[in-house]
Amino acid sequence: MLFRSGFFDFLSSLGLVSKIVLLTLVLFSIGSWAIILYKWRFFRALETSDQRFLKAFSRYEYPLEASRDVHLHKDSAVVAIYVEVARCYQLDGNGERPKLAIESLGSGGDGLPTQQYVERVLAHAIQEQINKTESYLPFLATTGNITPFVGLLGTVLGIIDAFREIGVQGTASISAVAPGVAEALVATAAGLFTAIPAVIAYNYFLSRVHSMAFRMDRFAIELTNALEMRGIREGAGQP
């Protein structure tokens, strides 16, 4: 077997180019697995916090009263867009409404922000949260795309070295060819070993991003409808 003499003996037998290729693949693998573990914990915390806030939000009669609970759900993407809407109505962390800064709101004549303004704020907040959740995912996509080619490059260079050795020895017997070819193919295997988890994780996390975006869109519609149907003046403490 290829590693029968020991893993470190195998590494020492590789040429400089093969070592560089394998080191590059190891670095990509370490980086991708670190991102996978981080994003898995990130999405788990985010979804748990989202569900808790949505449950708390449904208990309030007026939508803006839920601003009292936002400090309990700091990991929630839904809370982040809710806070932006609450700021349109100048609500503080206790759900109180200080004097409204009309000139900074794009408000109507009654001192309240227009529905179009609120919708623009929601769209911007949702996009900001999507960008946040997509952080580091391009590295996984890059890893999945290029590491097989990096491994293939190492294999091609290894095979070139193997045939050069055949020319030096003047023999094409299987005992002369097989070790060099086998060592060269290790680079391809390492490239695939690095790329496959990265591609799987990228597609999985991308589906989580889409799920989160749908959840935020649904909440934004629910929030704007609640503000319009229940009346913002009561919820914001207007006389």
226 or 218: which carries more pLDDT confidence? 218
For tokens 């001192």, the residue is 111
Tokens standing for residue 107 = 């408000």
Region 49-69: mean pLDDT is 81
Residue 111: pLDDT over 70: no
Region 171-184: mean pLDDT is 66
Assign 91 to helix, strand or coil: coil
Residue 239: pLDDT over 50: no
Percent of the chain with pLDDT over 90: 28
Q: Give the count of alpha carbons within 13 A of 23, CB side only.
A: 8
Tokens standing for residue 164 = 């050069």
Cα–Cα distances in angstroms (integers) from residue 33 to residues 47, 173, 198, in the given order: 21, 41, 8
Question: What pLDDT score does 136 carry?
Answer: 93
Among the residue ranges 101-105, 127-131, 185-189, 213-217, the one predicted with the least confidence is 101-105
Residue 176: pLDDT over 70: no
Question: What pLDDT score does 74 carry?
Answer: 78
Nearest residue to 81 (alpha-carbon basis) of 42, 120, 48, 39: 120
Region 204-226: mean pLDDT is 89
Condensed to tens digits (0 to 9), the pLDDT of residues 22-51 reads 889 999 999 999 999 999 999 999 998 988
Question: What pLDDT score does 11 carry?
Answer: 60
- Per-state percent for the chain, helix, strand, coil, to nearest 5: 80, 0, 20
For the chain, state the CA radius of gyration. 29
Stated pTM of the model? 0.76
For tokens 């370490």, the residue is 30
Q: Give the count of alpha carbons within 13 A of 81, CB side only.
A: 30
* Confidence at 154, pLDDT banded by 50, 70, 90: confident
Conformational region of residue 12, where left means phi above 0, alpha means psi within -120 to 50, and beta covers everything else: alpha
What is the domain partition of the chain in residue ranges? 7-235
